[in-house]
């Protein structure tokens, strides 16, 4: 027997909960939805673009009426619930309909706060909250000329901009002397005001309204200082008021909003509440991102999984006025204990301010150039220590020489035909139209529908910015925590600590313990979990949860053939080695060979069936696998060093060989490259490697977290040491710290940028701290350095390589 679930409020928060619930437990409830408005569910954050003629109502519909039919949901549209009878567990609507419930969700949202002014009940005085308000504004614009918007906040300015686009003459009245004072400081507010004035918007700052004038319809407005101006329409946008009457009348505990716990339950555990009507840990939210997080939690509990908690959301703000770039988050005023970083270019209209406390970003205001807003916001949420790039952080992420994020071109200024995702050939227009037409909200959805950022991921930041720009300003695209994949709500870090703290030893126990949504997981979480298990238990291996390259110990090519790269320690080789490789190439008729960037030889076009025999020959000639296919330690590039070079200061090749002997075979979160240069001329390019050594006359400089890939990133200097032994110790310890701390598929460069160089330095500061890391690394290397090629040449997993012929 199905239970009854009733939702009061057919808006974004409530319907998101239903959608999340249908994903988790599609058959659990008979669902009835009551909506006051005579529409399906629409995207309320898009009302401003509708008013500004940039979108139509049809374009912002999220769930049309057919959707409710398809999902067996009873929609009571245009029918308002007037009473909740908790004793009888039923709701009663305006038209007398009574529906019993087992579980109830109150998602009544909020209404514009209407100032109780004399004359506020006249025709032509409205709020800005729903389609009805937008209709009124559009109709007024056709008949009348002048409009006043009371409130110079986010909503007020969007309304004013829309009315201006509809052809009205608009005056914004604001009580304070700074626009959007809850999001902007005085300089940014001033810049915003000036650019809106240039567009023709009028302002009356420091003005307080006394009375609304007119007969039946408004004709004017008078302020406390005596000034009177004419107007035909007044939009009140001074704030929102949670709709709590219904809950209050049912004796549910309310303060400013309906008070809920971390599980989104009201004081009656059968009744949930989410969205703008809710007060959680003292906070009331008016943006979309928190609502979506709340919806996930409520759905999780309604599906009786019982594992999710809502812990509040850090929000950021952007203004949805085309052509104005503005971003704000956190505490941007600061106090006695905070520092300000400031960049102000008046002529170009750019203003950036970051407020930091103990080198951690606590707030930011950006005007004119907001491309780095999401980056600052992410660091704010991650509490990244910025001391290492404090002096350049204002110039943005591109200036930092970031790896793995690509060039953050100004996304708003790009043409529709500009390519965003170079791997899959997806341009800006493809993505924006998919977001609008397919109604996508998250990065994962954009990836599924367009493939953008689904391969190498370097354009992820760009796609996220585009998502934010397309969806509209106040949509905060980055959830406060990013789940590992669609199979779970847990993050990389949470999955990892569960494995460590609970001693979980297999994929199955991880998925069961953490209530995975899918039985077998997916390729994303299976590979990540496999790495985390392997890092914890060095002998662990589940071949079916590894990418084919690591299962077949070769690099799969576009035609399904494989490439074979034998290891050459430090790039050194002998005539005998080369002859052995040449013999193998002849024997197996290798169609193409190439010298790689990592100083070894790649043989292409090998069929999978040939691999074990070829490995056997290479193994007998003394070669081991080069791991050119794995998320693993790849190569140690070296220059000639003091054995031959007249500039060399140390034995760079010798040290390179030793480092490669220490680290070869090691499984890593991502590929991992080493280099040793014999002098500061740096011929081995050590300063773009994950772990690079530059020899100097007095010793060895150790550099980390460089990248020569998607975006070149120069290494950070870690330490200078005196002896080769110390280099080896630092190498083992740093490698293990990276292995244990980075997320799967996170290279050293983005990892260090995320956690901060200081954290790495602190973790490895003394020999006592380094030793346990080094020791754990050595233990992990024991099984890793049993050559996988030899093992398979000797017959391991022969099935994998042999087709069945019938």
DSSP 722-735: SSHHHHHHHHHHHH
Residue 24 or 93 with smaller CB distance to another protein: 24
Burial class (CB in 10 A: 0-12, 13-18, 19+), 255: exposed
User: Cα torsion at 95, 96, 97, 99 (round to 10°)?
Assistant: 140
Q: From the CB of 519, what's the least distance to another protein, in Å?
A: 6
DSSP secondary structure letters along 305-329: -----------EEE---TT--EEEE
For the bound state, the minimum distance from the C-beta of residue 568 to another protein, rounded and expressed in Å, comes to: 27
Mapping DSSP to helix (H, G, I), strand (E, B) and coil, where does residue 605 land? strand
Rounded CA separation 713/174 (Å) = 47
How near is the Cβ of 515 to another protein at its closest, in Å?
17
Polymer length of the chain: 806
Q: How far is residue 170's CA from residue 160's CA, in Å, rounded to a whole number?
A: 6
Of residues 315 and 450, the one with the C-beta less far from another protein: 450
Please, which residue, 404 or 554, has the CB nearer to another protein? 554
Least distance to another protein from the beta carbon of 600, Å? 24
Taking the complex as a whole, how short is the minimal distance between the CB of residue 526 and another protein, in angstroms? 6
| Of residues 56 and 455, the one with the C-beta less far from another protein | 455
**For 62, which DSSP code?**
E
Helix (H) or strand (E) holding 716: strand 716-721
Question: Of 231, 272, 239, whose CA–CA distance to 256 is shortest?
Answer: 239
For the chain, the maximum distance between any two Cα atoms, rounded to a whole number of angstroms, is: 102
Q: How far is the CB of 523 from another protein (least distance, A)?
A: 4
Token pair, residue 228, equals: 């009177």
Read off the DSSP letter of residue 588: T
Q: How far is C-alpha 684 from the geometric centre of its chain's CA atoms?
A: 35
Sign of the C-alpha dihedral computed for residues 542, 545, 549 and 550 taken in this order: negative
d(CA 650, CA 669): 31
* Minimum gap (Å) between residue 798 Cβ and another protein: 10
Q: Residue 99 in contact with residue 26, Cβ under 8 Å?
A: no
Shortest Cβ distance from residue 266 to another protein (Å)? Answer: 37
- 3 state SS of 759: helix
Min. distance of Cβ 495 from another protein in angstroms? 17
DSSP secondary structure, 252-285, as one string:
--BSSSEEE-TTSB-SSTTEEE-STTEEETTB--
CB of 502 to another protein, least distance (A): 23
| Other Cβ atoms closer than 10 A to 790 | 17
Closest CB to another protein among 179 and 510? 510
> Which is closer to another protein, CB of 168 or CB of 552?
552
Structure tokens at 12: 């974004």
Q: Which chain residues interact with another protein by CB under 8 A?
A: 424, 448-451, 454-455, 518-523, 526-527, 543-545, 547-548, 552, 556, 558, 560, 799, 803-806
Q: At what angle do helices 428-437 and 443-450 cross, to 10 degrees?
A: 110
Give, for 528, the enclosing helix (H) or strand (E).
helix 523-536
Least distance CB 531 / another protein (angstroms):
14
In the complex with another protein, the residue whose CB is nearer, 543 or 591, is 543
Identity of the residue, 213 or 613, whose beta carbon is nearer to another protein in the bound complex: 613
Determine how β-strand 90-93 pairs with β-strand 98-100: antiparallel
Q: How far is the CB of 427 from another protein (least distance, A)?
A: 16
**Packing angle of the helix pair 288-302, 12-24 (nearest 10 deg):** 40
Work out how close the CB of 529 gets to another protein at its nearest, in angstroms, rounded to a whole number. Answer: 12
CB of 646 to another protein, least distance (A): 48
Interatomic CA distance for residues 755 and 607, integer angstroms:
42
**Cβ nearer to another protein, comparing 346 with 806:** 806
User: CB neighbours of 267 closer than 8 A, spacing ≥ 6?
Assistant: 252, 253, 259
């Amino acid at each position: 027997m199905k239970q009854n679930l009733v939702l009061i409020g057919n808006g974004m928060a409530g319907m998101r909960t239903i959608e999340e619930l249908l994903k988790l437990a599609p058959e659990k409830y008979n669902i009835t939805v009551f909506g006051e408005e005579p529409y399906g569910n629409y995207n309320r954050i898009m009302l401003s673009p509708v008013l500004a003629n940039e979108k139509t109502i049809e374009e912002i519909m999220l769930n049309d009426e057919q959707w409710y039919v398809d999902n067996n949901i009873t929609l009571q549209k245009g029918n308002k619930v007037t009473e909740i009878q908790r004793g009888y567990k039923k709701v009663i609507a305006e038209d007398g309909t009574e529906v019993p419930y087992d579980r109830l969700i109150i998602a009544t949202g909020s209404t514009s706060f209407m100032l109780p002014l004399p004359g506020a009940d006249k025709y032509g005085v409205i709020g800005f909250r729903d389609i009805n308000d937008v209709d009124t504004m559009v109709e007024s614009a056709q008949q009348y000329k002048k409009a006043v918007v009371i409130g110079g906040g986010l909503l007020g300015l969007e309304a004013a901009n829309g009315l201006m686009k509809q052809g009205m003459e608009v005056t914004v009245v604001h009580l304070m002397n700074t626009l959007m004072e809850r999001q902007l400081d005085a300089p940014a507010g001033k810049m915003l005001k000036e650019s809106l004035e240039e567009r023709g918007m009028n302002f009356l700052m420091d003005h307080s309204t006394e009375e609304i004038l007119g007969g039946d319809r408004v004709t004017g407005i008078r302020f406390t200082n005596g000034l009177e101006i004419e107007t035909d329409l007044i939009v009140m946008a001074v704030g929102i008021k949670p709709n709590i009457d219904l809950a209050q009348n049912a004796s549910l505990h309310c303060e400013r909003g309906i008070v809920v716990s971390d599980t989104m339950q009201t004081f009656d555990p059968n009744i949930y509440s989410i969205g703008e009507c809710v007060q959680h840990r003292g906070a009331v939210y008016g943006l979309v991102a928190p609502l979506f997080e709340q919806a996930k939690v409520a759905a999780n509990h309604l599906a009786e999984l019982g594992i999710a908690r809502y812990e509040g959301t850090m929000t950021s703000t952007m203004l949805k006025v085309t052509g104005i770039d503005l971003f704000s988050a956190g505490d941007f005023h600061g106090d006695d204990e905070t520092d300000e970083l400031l960049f102000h270019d008046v002529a170009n209209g750019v203003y950036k301010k970051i407020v930091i406390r103990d080198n951690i970003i606590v707030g930011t205001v950006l005007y004119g150039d907001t491309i780095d807003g999401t980056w600052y916001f992410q660091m704010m949420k991650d509490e990244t220590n910025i001391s290492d790039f404090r002096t350049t952080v204002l110039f943005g992420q591109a200036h930092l020489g970031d790896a793995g994020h690509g060039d953050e071109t100004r996304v708003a200024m790009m043409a529709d035909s500009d390519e965003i995702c170079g791997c899959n050939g997806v341009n800006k227009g493809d993505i924006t139209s998919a977001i609008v037409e397919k109604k996508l909200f998250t990065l994962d959805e954009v990836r599924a529908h367009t493939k953008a950022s689904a391969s190498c991921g370097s354009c992820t930041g760009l796609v996220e910015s585009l998502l934010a720009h397309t969806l509209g300003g106040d949509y905060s695209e980055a959830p406060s925590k990013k789940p590992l994949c669609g199979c779970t709500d847990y993050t990389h870090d949470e999955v990892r600590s569960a494995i460590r703290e609970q001693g979980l030893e297999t994929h199955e126990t991880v998925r069961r313990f953490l209530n995975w949504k899918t039985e077998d997981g997916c390729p994303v979480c299976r590979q990540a979990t496999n790495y985390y298990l392997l890092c914890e238990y060095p002998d662990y291996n589940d071949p079916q949860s590894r990418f084919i390259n690591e299962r077949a110990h070769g690099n799969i090519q576009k035609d399904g053939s494989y490439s074979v790269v034998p290891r050459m320690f430090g790039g050194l080789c002998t005539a005998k080695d080369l002859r052995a490789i040449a013999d193998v190439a002849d024997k197996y008729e290798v169609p193409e060979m190439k010298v790689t960037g990592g100083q070894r030889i790649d043989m292409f076009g090998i069929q999978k069936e040939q691999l074990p025999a070829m490995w056997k020959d290479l193994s007998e000639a003394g070669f081991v696998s080069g791991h050119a296919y794995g998320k693993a330690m790849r190569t140690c590039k070296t220059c000639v060093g003091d054995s031959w070079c007249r500039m060399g200061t140390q034995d760079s090749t010798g040290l390179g060989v030793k480092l490669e002997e220490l680290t070869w075979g090691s499984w890593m979160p991502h590929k991992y490259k080493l280099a040793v240069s014999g002098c500061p001329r740096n011929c081995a390019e050590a300063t773009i490697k994950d772990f690079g050594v530059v020899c100097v006359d007095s010793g060895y400089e150790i550099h980390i977290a460089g990248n020569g890939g998607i975006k070149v990133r120069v290494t950070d200097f870690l330490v200078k040491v005196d002896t080769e032994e110390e280099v080896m110790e630092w190498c083992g310890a740093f490698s293990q710290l990276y292995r244990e701390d980075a997320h799967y598929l996170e290279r050293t460069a983005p990892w260090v940028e995320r956690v901060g160089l200081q954290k790495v330095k602190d973790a490895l500061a003394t020999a006592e701290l380094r030793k346990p890391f080094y020791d754990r690394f050595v233990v992990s290397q024991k099984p890793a350095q049993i050559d996988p090629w030899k093992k398979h040449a000797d017959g391991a997993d022969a099935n994998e390589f042999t087709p069945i012929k019938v």
